[in-house]
Structure 1
Amino acid sequence: MYKISAYQLFVTTFIFQLGTGIIFGSGGLAGRDAWISQLVSIGPGILVIMLYITLMRMNPGLTLVQWFPAQFGRWIGIPIAFLYPLLFLYQTTRVLADIRDMISTTLLFNTPLIIVTGIFVILILYIVYSGIEIIARFAELLLPFLLVLFIVEIILLFSSDVMHINNLQPILENGWGPIWEVVYPGGIHYPYGTSIIFAMFWTEISHPEKIMKITVLSAILSGIMIAVFNMLAISVFGSMFSHFLYPLYTLLSVISVGNFIENLQIIGVIYFFTTAFIHASIEMFAALKGFQQLTRIQDYRVLIIPAGIIALFLGMAMSKNISEHYYYQHMKILVPYIWTSLHWILPIILLIVTWLRQKVFKVKKNV
């Protein structure tokens, strides 16, 4: 049986954690200090990841959706566990909505949204049908390409003479308040809390003893990379950074080297499409595997077409515009209520119950 290598786990986790954060910009509410809020989020984010790894080690050989029936019993554990594949499917549709909105507002103004969204859904379903191994291999091929684009972008920005280090100052102009508002809860949830999804795949890793090192390293590097993107945008736009919906896309539009190398927004689109594609594929695959394990059907592939139809419908109908999609549904509902419950509260309760059962009452797992 094929196992995901340690390197493939690192690459997949790293790209997943970048997700849509590099195109939307992370921490805009902190203004010039957005890059600081991203760096500060790494610490508590790693603690959250350590929570998931601890649960994995206390439930060896089980995936995320199997932890709850093992510790709470089937009658309580299975209904709770179903919340996670539902969340993963919902988050797939959010990525589709991100794609829909960005394409319609930046590139293909007159293209029917159903065409753009439908093509993206078909691509996701195709790679999900192939399995997590193919997703991991595809991510492995993409990473060098993304890193080269990142380096080229930095070189071109410096060559365009549009960056001004003074725009990063004054540091902590408004104190730590705005930074903590970004860090908690949103900065910890994304990208670190969302990494709970990899608990669906950790049983497929060829070297499980390396999971902690790999996941923590990818969290640190993805956090630093997003922080660097923020610093680049702030050094160009200053306090205006927080007013751009797609700061990376806008940042690339100012590149001009010798009046020859210009209009490089397509690089931002490539960033977004590649990271969003890997992100959505992992979300969809985790959702289908979760439903398969909880319903005990033989092959998750029988769920691909129904899941694709649901994702396409919700991706088109989720919100009327990007403001409702991001500032209301994401910031006001998803982060404070859904993510907080499923990323923190339930795992902490599970950890306490598991510890009591294993250390105090000496009860063996029962799936």
Structure 2
Amino acid sequence: MEKANINALQLFFLMLLFELGSAILVPLATGAKQDAWIAILLGMFTSFILLLVYNKLYLYYPNLLPTEYMQKIMGKVTGKLFAFMYILYFIYAAARVLRDFGEMLLTFAYPETPLFIANALLLMVVIYLVSKGIEVMGRSAQLLFFLMYVLAISGFVLVICSGLIDFKNLQPTLEEGLLPILKVVFTEILYFPFGESIVFIMILPYLNNPKKAKMTMLCANGLTGINLAIVMIINISVSGVGLTERSYFPLLTTIQSIQVAGFLERLDVYFMIALVVGGFFKIGLFFYAAVVGTANLFKIKSPLQLPYYLGILTLFYSIILSRNFMEHLYEGIIIDPFFLQIPLFIVIPFLLLTVAFLKNRKRENKYKV
């Protein structure tokens, strides 16, 4: 671990920017149609259980990275295997989010630019930030959070002023009952974006006050869910269910529809700034977790060059992980939840917590005797 500390407020900003990240960019919970906002809120409340599991593991071993305490809980061989699986996932997730934002930049701003160049430029900034450490990332989040929210609030006001919102697009509520909503919650929303907060098990050991971890994470998760629900309400109210489902980037489609007083229009570049800020922190935190986990697991004594090596791997993987954006979305929505996210977000953490609980209870009983 680097010798660094972040406070609870910085953790809150990091988590909020991370979870909003690519979630405000891509179609979210569209399987629930006009009830997408309900699915998001239910997914948010369900994800509190996961956060409590991650926090409890952290409190058992507050001064250790997961790559270390997994070995204490499961033994060296199994623990190292689990730790290596998470490192691979963090690299994979960083590459996926990098691909998301590279595709967005090409679609709306640089259609003639090769994807490799767009991804490389984004990743260069991420590598620089990660090399500066978690304290700098925390301070950067604290600063850029306010910029992002100023842009978000002004955008909300402009959408209202443009007269685009039609709440009839949100009706009828619960048209097909609660079952389709629950299906979306447990096959999509629980894992993306809320379950991805598993990355913060690599960040929590740097928190200067462990007692504030639980409330900070729950509050950040709650505010994220409310924000995403509002975004989906606006998207569906403006574009309708059909267009929101078909659009690769529904929020930007909504923003492009804004026209106020006959002259204020084409504001997509203005709001792309907010999207890039969120994506920047999401890529950065996944990448940071991969770098710190790799350095710790393999006992690398001089990890200064490690971000560059892993950066090259992440960059090339972001290009080759799918042939086109449609395939990229299909993998993220259909394949990832069952083969990656359920085992890594739910099964392994619950297993670790169960074994850690039994070991700690046995130790406590021993001391009582």
Q: Within the alignment, does 1:278 sit opposite 2:281 as a pair?
A: yes
**1:82 aligned to 2:84?**
yes
Q: Which residue of 2 aligns with 1:36?
A: 38
Structure 2 residue aligned with 1:52, among 54, 78, 96? 54
| 1:198 and 2:187 aligned | no
Structure 1 match to 2:176 = 174
Answering whether residue 258 of structure 2 is matched by residue 255 of structure 1, we say yes
Map 1:130-279 onto structure 2 (within 5 A).
Answer: 130-240=132-242, 241-279=244-282
Q: What is the one-letter code of the residue matched to 1:167? A: N
Q: C-alpha separation between the residues in 1 aligned to 2:361 and 2:64?
A: 19
Cα distance change, pair 325–363 in 1 and its aligned pair in 2 (3 A): farther
Question: How far does residue 66 in structure 1 lie from its aligned partner after superposition?
Answer: 1.8
Distance 2:81 2:41 in 1: 36
> Which stretch of the first structure deviates more once superposed, 1-10 or 44-53?
1-10
Q: Structure 1 residue 313: deviation in Å? A: 0.7
CA contact (8 A) 1:23 1:268 kept: no
Equivalent position of 1:322 in the other structure: 325
8 Å contact from structure 1 (residues 27, 34) kept in 2: yes
Alpha-carbon distance between aligned partners in 1 of 2:320 and 2:134, rounded to the nearest angstrom? 28
Give SS of 1:23's match: coil
The letter for the 1-side match of 2:267 is L
Give how far 1:260 is off: 1.0
How far does residue 185 in structure 1 lie from its aligned partner after superposition?
A: 2.9
Deviations 1:134-157 (A, max 9, x none): 111111111111111111111111
> After TM superposition, where is structure 1 displaced by more than 3 Å over at least 4 residues in a row?
360-364
Q: Tell me which amino acid in the other structure corresponds to 2:231.
A: F
What's the CA shift for 1:332? 2.3
Task: Note if contact 2:99-2:318 (Cα within 8 Å) is conserved in structure 1.
Answer: yes
Preserved contact between residue 252 and residue 267 of structure 1 (Cα < 8 Å): no
Query: Which ranges of structure 2 fall in alignment gaps of 5 or more residues?
Result: none
Per-residue deviation at 1:301? 2.2
SS in 2 for 1:189: coil
Aligned equivalent of 2:350, options 348, 351, 354: 348
| Alignment equivalent of 1:298, drawn from 276, 301, 317 | 301
CA distance in 1, matches of 2:59, 2:189: 26
Unmatched runs of 5 consecutive residues or more in structure 1: none
Q: Flag the 1:6–1:361 CA change in 2: closer, same or farther, 3 A.
A: closer
Query: How many aligned positions are there?
Result: 363
Query: Structure 1 residues 284-293 or 269-278, which shifts more?
Result: 269-278
Q: Which TM-score applies when normalising by structure 2?
A: 0.95
2:7 corresponds to 1:11: no
Deviations 1:65-112 (A, max 9, x none): 222101111122111111111111111111111122112222211112
- Whether the aligned pair in 2 keeps the contact of 1:357 and 1:363 (CA below 8 Å) is no
Shift of 1:361: 5.8
Given the superposition, is the C-alpha separation of residues 71 and 42 from structure 1 closer, same or farther in structure 2, using an over 3 Å criterion? same
CA RMSD between the two structures: 1.5
Identity %: 31
Pick which of 215-224 and 19-28 moved more.
Answer: 19-28
TM-score (norm 1): 0.96
Q: Specify the code of the residue in structure 2 equivalent to 1:317.
A: I
**Matched residue, 1:67:** 69
- CA contact 2:152–2:274 (8 Å) conserved in 1: no
**Alignment partners' CA distance in 2, 1:82 and 1:185:** 25
Kept after mapping to 1: 8 A contact 2:62/2:210: no
CA–CA distance in structure 1, aligned partners of residues 5 and 352 of structure 2: 28
Q: Determine the C-alpha separation between the residues in 2 that align with 1:43 and 1:117.
A: 34
Matched residues in 2 for 1:63 and 1:363: separation?
A: 26
C-alpha separation between the residues in 2 aligned to 1:195 and 1:211? 13
How far apart, in 1, do the equivalents of 2:138 and 2:347 lie? 30
